[in-house]
Amino acid sequence: MNTLLLDNHLAQTTPFPVGLEVSHATGSYIYTKDGNKYLDMISGLCVSNLGHGNQAVKDAVYCQLEKYAHVMVYGEFEQDAVSELAATLTGLLPKSLDTCYFVNSGTEANEAAIKLARRSTGRSELIAFKGAYHGGSTGSLAISYNEEKKYAVRPLMPDVKFIELNKLADLAFITKKTAGVFLETIQGDAGIRIPEEAFIKALRKRCSETGTLLILDEIQAGMGRTGKFSAFEHYGIVPDILCLGKALGAGLPIGALISGRNLMEKFTHDPMLGHITTFGGNPVISAAANAGLKELLKDGIIAAVETKGQFISSSLKDHTMVKEIRQKGLFIAIELESAELVQQAFDYCLAHGVITFWFLSCKNAFRIAPPLNISQEDLAHGVSILKDALDSLT
């Protein structure tokens, strides 16, 4: 462990930070000050979907900075980069999702969606799923499941129920008292849990029947990560609100909630200024996001994601140390027998120049989520180190 981090003036989230001293990052590699390089097999937790140092993104940032950085809080002035981002994003989504509200993070997108669901339905109950992670603020934490992260700060937002993924009987808990149901289209932090199509379709139907908003959190699973631009495309349904974050800013912080205009207009009236933010939709970050989206959509990057994911899963699934691999595109959990083995695999990979990471809510699995444009050569190298790591456990 690097003790330097603990000696400086930065707050720490754990007593055991990985502590790599980063010098720079380019493509799928992160370089450290001691001259080592590490293959990034987690994309900074599903953020760097284009890898690091993308030239078009850098150019767009410089160009916008030359014009202006911040001129006004969200929503008051017309700013080209922000309008372009809304037009591009909604152009990639079903027609009913035609209005974007930009915020600063995934957490804030969910937080705003909670408010929108409550004020538009006049109901207070929210339903979320066992295993869910929706963010660290008191609202988004209340709809997250992991008690380990909640008990020390209770009471959180009341009137939240949790139901089980893929359990059709649990849909009966959604009633005319329920304002909204929050679901990660594919659960990330729970260890890549992939809902069944019949369940998602029944969930959509139940929400429509009860006048409950279906809010899909694609903060991790969106932006091409699962092999489609939106993960809900795998299921043939459309949410009432879509929440995005992480990879949306091509490495810079931004979040978005996207819905139909009628719904989003609830923030405009009675009372107006229903949700406000100073930096949401910052033009420099919007410019990065616009460039990032253009890059992501070219060269068949998303179309190749599932093949790359299957290369990883098929190369490792028969290893004797692997209990299960859950994979959709490049969103992958490798489950072992215990948290101790996961730690050993992580340590081995890091010592051999490959970065993997844990899940908070699935301790006996580790995550693999490389940049979506990782080269076949880098992917093969990563997989070979992963195999060696698993061998080292036997």
Ligand X SMILES: Cc1ncc(COP(=O)(O)O)c(C=O)c1O
Q: Are 48 and 39 in contact (CB under 8 A)?
A: no
The one segment of 52-60, 89-97, 106-114, 234-242 that binds ligand X by CB under 6 A: 106-114
- Give the contacts of 41 (CB within 8 A, at least 6 positions apart): 349, 354, 355, 356, 368, 369, 370, 382, 386
The answer to whether 48 contacts ligand X (rule: CB under 6 A) is no
Q: Which residue number, 245 or 370, has a Cβ lying nearer to ligand X?
A: 245
Pick the binder of ligand X from 40, 111, 170, 217 (CB under 6 A).
217
Stretch in the footprint of ligand X (CB under 6 A) among 121-129, 191-199, 213-221, 327-335: 213-221
Which residue's CB is nearer to ligand X, number 188 or number 224?
A: 188
> And the tokens for 170?
């649990």
Q: Which residue in the block uniquely carries the two structure tokens 């707050």?
A: 11
Q: How far is the CB of 280 from ligand X (least distance, A)?
A: 13
Closer Cβ to ligand X, 133 or 348, answer by number: 133
Concatenated DSSP letters of 146-162? -GGGTGGG----SSEEE
In this complex, which beta carbon is closest to ligand X, that of residue 147 or of residue 270?
147
**Minimal distance in Å, beta carbon 216 to ligand X?**
10
Q: Is 230 among the residues that bind ligand X (CB under 6 A)?
A: no
Q: How far is the CB of 244 from ligand X (least distance, A)?
A: 10
Residue 33: alpha-carbon gap to chain centroid: 29
Binding mask 233-252 for ligand X (x = CB under 6 A): ------------xx------
| Rounded CA separation 358/88 (Å) | 33
Instruction: Convert residues 128-157 into a mask of x (bound to ligand X by CB under 6 A) and - (unbound).
Output: -----xxx----------------------
Instruction: By CB under 6 A, tell whether 193 contacts ligand X.
Output: no
In angstroms, what is the minimal distance from the CB of 162 to ligand X? 15
Binders of ligand X among residues 278 to 337 (CB under 6 A) are none
The answer to whether 379 and 372 are in contact (CB under 8 A) is no
Task: Name the strands in the sheet holding 324-328, side by side, starting at the edge strand that comes first in the sequence.
Answer: 324-328, 331-335, 365-368, 357-358
Q: 252 or 393: whose CB is closer to ligand X? A: 252
The yes or no reply on residue 44 touching ligand X (CB under 6 A) is no
Task: Give the Cα separation of 333 and 267 in Å (integer).
Answer: 38
In this chain, which of 180, 188, 251, 329 binds ligand X, going by CB under 6 A?
188
Contacts of 174 (CB under 8 A, 6+ apart): 127, 163, 181, 203, 206, 207, 210, 212
DSSP character string of 92-118 = TS-TT--EEEEESSHHHHHHHHHHHHH
Q: Which is nearer to ligand X, 322 or 362 (CB)?
A: 362
DSSP state of 166: T
Minimum distance from CB of 394 to ligand X (Å)? 32
Binding track, positions 108-127, relative to ligand X; x by CB under 6 A: --x-----------------
CA atoms within 13 A on the CB side of 111: 20
- How do 125-129 and 160-163 pair as beta strands? parallel
Between vectors from CA 135 to CA 48 and to CA 322, what angle results, nearest 5°? 65
Residue pair 199/165 in contact by the 8 Å Cβ criterion: yes
Name the segment binding ligand X (CB under 6 A); options: 27-35, 73-81, 99-107, 284-292.
99-107
Total binding residues toward ligand X, as defined by CB under 6 A: 15
Among 54, 64, 107, 226, binds ligand X (CB under 6 A): 107
Interface with ligand X (CB under 6 A): 105-107, 110, 133-135, 184, 188-189, 217, 219-220, 245-246
